[in-house]
């Protein structure tokens, strides 16, 4: 790799890290300036942290950091080192952001519909920005990905189920109305995340045509722990035969997959499809560390 390429890679990593941090602070602002002052929570580990903060009178940032530790380890084992690093950076920034912004002025009060819509949009924008750049701000997605390999349910179904449990816990502190508003805010946030990171929900199917198919498949296996299949295809114009690679990954691995493809063959022909559900076959992956 040339010095110019190394410099370019470093700049890309730094810019991604900065965007993850910005996403975390946007999310923190949505929590502290809109949702929490109005007794509305978020979903996932952040929602549980908010409940714990209210019950135990502990700083929200500390609980976010502590409760996400086991899920960061899951991300490291199942998705990779760079994902874990960006997630640590994002979760740490979210924790710091909630502490720094704890006394920030509440921008909306009283109007429950406006609170859920604006709060959901802000936290969805922040979380989507973080995931788009290779990190995560909440560990519940990583848990859902792991459970989907052991249970006969899709990742999206498990995320919904886990968050139903979270909102039941939220109702013990914020009441039934607070739990319902929290659920609405979370739903809006999930839609905004989908807009920020297109196709974020469910799995992704990558179809790749490259001059280096063997190296591409080997690298995907080594760095993502994913298998791939070959199809022999023929160009309609050139009549040349190619090995077309097909690989299905989960939503948190998309950024890493694109990085691998770009490193090996910038000119590779790539198509990406949304996959609503994956069952059977050999979709399980091995640990990569």
pLDDT in tens, 217-265: 999 999 988 989 999 998 888 888 889 999 998 878 888 999 999 999 9
Whether 289 shows a pLDDT value over 80: the answer reads no
Whether 155 shows a pLDDT value over 90: the answer reads no
Multiple choice CATH, 203-275, 3.30.420.110, 3.90.800.10, 3.40.50.300, 3.30.70.120: 3.30.70.120
CA distances from 227 to 35, 152, 153, 214 (A): 42, 20, 21, 12
Sign of CA dihedral 9, 223, 200, 94: negative
| Residue in the block written with tokens 């009549």 | 239
Q: What is residue 20's three-state secondary structure? A: helix
pLDDT at 121: 95
pLDDT band at 75 (very low <50, low <70, confident <90, very high): confident
Any residues with CB less than 8 A from the CB of 157 and at least 6 apart, and which? none
Local structure of residue 208 (DSSP, 8 states): E
Which of 101-115, 128-142, 146-160 tops mean pLDDT?
101-115
Domain locations along the chain: 3-196, 203-275
pLDDT band at 287 (very low <50, low <70, confident <90, very high): low
Q: Any alpha helices (H) in 151-273, and if so which ranges? A: 155-196, 213-224, 254-264
SS3 for 154-177 is CHHHHHHHHHHHHHHHHHHHHHHH
pLDDT band at 200 (very low <50, low <70, confident <90, very high): very low
For strand 241-250 and strand 269-275, is the pairing parallel, antiparallel, or unpaired?
unpaired
> Cβ distance 212 to 261 under 8 Å?
no
Task: Give residue-wise pLDDT tens across range 263-278.
Answer: 999 999 999 988 866 7
Mean pLDDT of the chain: 87
pLDDT at 151: 80
> Cβ distance 84 to 76 under 8 Å?
yes
- Greater model confidence, 287 or 185: 185
pLDDT at 185: 93
Q: What is residue 88's three-state secondary structure? A: helix
Any residues with CB less than 8 A from the CB of 46 and at least 6 apart, and which? 31, 64, 94, 137, 138
- The percentage of residues in the chain with a pLDDT greater than 70, rounded to a whole number, is 92
pLDDT at 246: 95
Whether 199 shows a pLDDT value over 60: the answer reads no
Once rounded to an integer, what is the mean pLDDT over residues 193-201?
A: 66
pLDDT band at 180 (very low <50, low <70, confident <90, very high): very high
Whether 18 shows a pLDDT value over 70: the answer reads yes
């Amino acid at each position: 790799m040339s010095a110019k390429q190394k410099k370019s890679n470093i700049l890309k990593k730094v810019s991604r890290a900065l965007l993850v941090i910005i996403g975390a602070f946007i999310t923190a602002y949505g929590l502290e300036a809109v949702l929490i002052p109005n007794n509305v929570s978020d979903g996932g580990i952040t929602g549980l942290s908010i409940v714990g903060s209210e019950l135990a009178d502990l700083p929200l940032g500390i609980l976010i950091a502590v409760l996400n530790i086991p899920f960061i380890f899951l991300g490291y084992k199942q998705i990779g080192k760079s994902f874990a690093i960006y997630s640590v950076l994002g979760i740490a920034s979210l924790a710091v952001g909630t502490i720094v912004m704890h006394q920030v002025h509440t921008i909306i009060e009283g109007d429950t519909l406006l609170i859920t819509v604006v709060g959901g949009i802000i936290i969805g924008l922040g979380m989507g920005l973080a995931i788009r750049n290779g990190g995560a701000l909440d560990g519940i997605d990583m848990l859902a990905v792991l459970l989907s390999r052991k249970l006969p349910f899709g990742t999206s179904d498990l995320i919904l189920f886990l968050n139903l449990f979270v909102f039941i816990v939220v109702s013990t502190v914020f009441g039934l109305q607070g739990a319902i508003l929290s659920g609405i805010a979370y739903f809006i946030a999930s839609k905004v995340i989908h807009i920020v990171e297109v196709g974020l929900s469910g799995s992704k199917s990558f179809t790749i045509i490259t001059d280096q198919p063997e190296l591409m498949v080997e690298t995907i296996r080594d760095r993502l722990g994913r298998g791939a299949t070959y199809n022999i295809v023929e160009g309609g114009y050139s009549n040349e035969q190619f090995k077309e690679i097909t690989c299905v990954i989960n939503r948190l691995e998309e950024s890493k997959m694109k990085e691998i493809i770009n490193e090996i063959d910038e000119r590779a022909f790539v198509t990406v499809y949304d996959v609503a559900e994956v069952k059977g076959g050999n979709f399980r992956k091995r640990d990569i560390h």
